[in-house]
Amino acid sequence: MSRAASTSPAIESWNPATGERLGTVSEASVADVRAAVSAARQAQLSWGALPVSERAARVSRLRGLIVARADALSAQISAENGKTRFEALMMEVFPLAELVRYFCKHAEEILAPRRIPLALMKHRRSYVHYAPRGVVGIIATWNFPLAIPFGESVMALLAGNAVVLKPSDLTPLIAEAALSLFREGGIPDDLVRIVHGRGATGAARIDASVDQVCFTGSVTTGRKVAAACGERLIPCTLELGGKAPAIVCDDADLERTAQALVWGAFANSGQVCASVERVYAHTAIHDELVTRVVEHAARLRQGDPASFETDVGAICFPRQLDVARALIDDAVAQGARVVLGGAALPLSAGPDGFPRSFFQPTVVTHVRPSMRILREESFAPLLPIMRVTDVDEAVRLANDSDYGLLGYVFTGDRAKGRAIAERIRAGTVMVNDVLMTYGLPETPWAGVKHSGIGRVHSAEGLRELCETRHVHHDAFFTPPRELWWYPYGKSTYKNALKALRLFLGGRGGA
């Protein structure tokens, strides 16, 4: 049973592009959350006992279902989240199907026990093995309501865990549609449970003693989640905000760079934690770059996300309209210039009284490092571009941020691009491209500084969903006693001192 009892308060879902009501779900009570965690824990016992290969075989059925329902899923994501149909397909459905394929193929290898070579104790052996944690609590955000929470769910299942997921209260119907695929694919009902709600529901799930928390959302809420987990000694993975810088060198291919920046800033209406949120352009190419960016951005078609001819869709969370406006106003008051866009579309509310939320793709120049538009995450289609004199200044400004999720470098010299990328403090830095590494399940997705802790995706991300346990055992023979056991004495001390000098002194210790 995925929802709470019908007597619980209702959460309404609405279309941010049309303002139409899409449906309701029931909000879970504290008792509902505890019951879901308890049922999931019971279901996990038999699931976690299965070999990894068997788990992978069962989870792999999801890929065919995702592909078969791709068009319907894309339409529902577009309606409830506001991104375009194409973005829903390519940024959510496609990556989820690929994640299922990749990890079902490689999970057994990734989670295989690993031997630890021992330098001294040649008669002993050590290895680590990976055991399920138990119940993983996933707290999801609204900007990628399918790819993020259900990708994490798939990985948690392959690691042998059960899942209790709290979707965003802005996108609950997408979660229900995805859950139906898990049911159709034969995943046991209690192994993946959904509890709808708001912040209190997420807190109740931590109180219900899940064994790990995976949170995606704001830095402010992430701190609260981390504090709650820390108090209970529950491991957590936090994927938080970003303020991704893009450094454009004087030798960059400006046409490719301009197109990349436009897509990187305005895809999903800028509601991507990896969005290009600030550009540092070398003075030699700054003006031409701005001209090309404005030309490409001005051609973007904004409107109904359900239309296949729309490039930029709606803003899912209306509060981001106010955030965008405040950042622009602050910049303009300090001398910045809005060279394209700069306003919310003046639309009346929808037929059910909900707002229709669109913000124009916006390009801002003459910005300075002190401006909020270069320091605070906008989560809106804003692209500030700043002129810099050289790479060193660009790197310094790129690193002058509390965030460190993604960074970008554009240059015609590949070796130079890699060298600059290694100087940027971010979990991932891309050279001559933007955004798309989340769609590559092989690669890690992690932030530094205030952008989060822990990893999702990659072999490391899968292993983080497990307890890493160490086994140490005898290999060839078992002596009657070890040299360092009781009783102590002068001779044992001298023998230990000789061993220290022999193995770790002089050239032997170099």
In single-letter form, the type of residue at position 337 comes to: R
CA distances from 190 to 15, 251, 327 (A): 30, 56, 45
CA–CA separation, 485 and 49 (whole Å): 38
CA–CA separation, 134 and 41 (whole Å): 7
CA–CA separation, 426 and 410 (whole Å): 16
User: Under a CB-based contact definition with an 8 Å cutoff, are residues 165 and 194 in contact?
Assistant: yes
Residue 329: CB atoms within 10 Å: 14
User: Under a CB-based contact definition with an 8 Å cutoff, are residues 308 and 78 in contact?
Assistant: no
Give the Cα-Cα-Cα angle 169, 306, 313 (nearest 5 degrees): 65
Q: What are phi and psi of 188, to 5 degrees?
A: -55, 140
Catalytic annotation, residues? 239, 273
CA–CA separation, 268 and 81 (whole Å): 9
Give the Cα-Cα-Cα angle 162, 164, 165 (nearest 5 degrees): 130
At how many degrees (to 10) do helices 52-59 and 61-68 cross?
20
Report the candidate in 324, 269, 254, 274 with the shortest Cα–Cα distance to residue 300.
269
In single-letter form, the type of residue at position 207 comes to: D
Report the candidate in 448, 442, 445 with the shortest Cα–Cα distance to residue 424.
448
Eight-state DSSP code of residue 90: I
Give the Cα-Cα-Cα angle 483, 485, 489 (nearest 5 degrees): 80
CA–CA separation, 473 and 296 (whole Å): 64
**Collapsing DSSP states into helix, strand and coil, what is residue 63?**
helix
CA–CA separation, 205 and 208 (whole Å): 5
CA–CA separation, 476 and 284 (whole Å): 69
Report the candidate in 306, 247, 189, 242 with the shortest Cα–Cα distance to residue 445.
242
**Collapsing DSSP states into helix, strand and coil, what is residue 24?**
strand
Here the tokens at position 343 are 């306003």
Q: What are phi and psi of 255, to 5 degrees?
A: -70, -50
Report the candidate in 6, 475, 429 with the shortest Cα–Cα distance to residue 196.
6
